[in-house]
Amino acid sequence: MGWSWGDIALAGREPFSIRDLAARYGGPAVRHSGQIGLSLPRGPEGRTIGHAPRPPLPQPADTQIMFAVNYEDGRSAYIRVSPEAARYGQMVVMSIAREQQKAGEIPDGILAGVKQVR
């Protein structure tokens, strides 16, 4: 049984041509760098059906600085502040922690101190 490069021979089956596959599945037979293949149909987003989507782009690095807020009763909470606020020192970060307490973003309680988390 003879076949050409334009045919695919499967073990124990009749050879069939790429053109037969193209007619059956609706895509034109195309030639890429000497190989014959099917041009796969495209989905609504224009991507070829059957291909995995692209991975998401990497997220930009977080520029905020994290501080642990310590309470007198031993509890702790975490806040993030801008690098400018962190440069001004712990008293500014402590006042930001008090503002976040008033806004309900961290638990109520007596604050003992803040410390930068590395």
pLDDT in tens, 71-102: 999 999 999 999 999 999 999 999 999 999 99
Dihedral sign from CA coordinates of 85, 91, 95, 96:
positive
User: Does the global pTM surpass 0.75?
Assistant: no
Percent of the chain with pLDDT over 90: 47
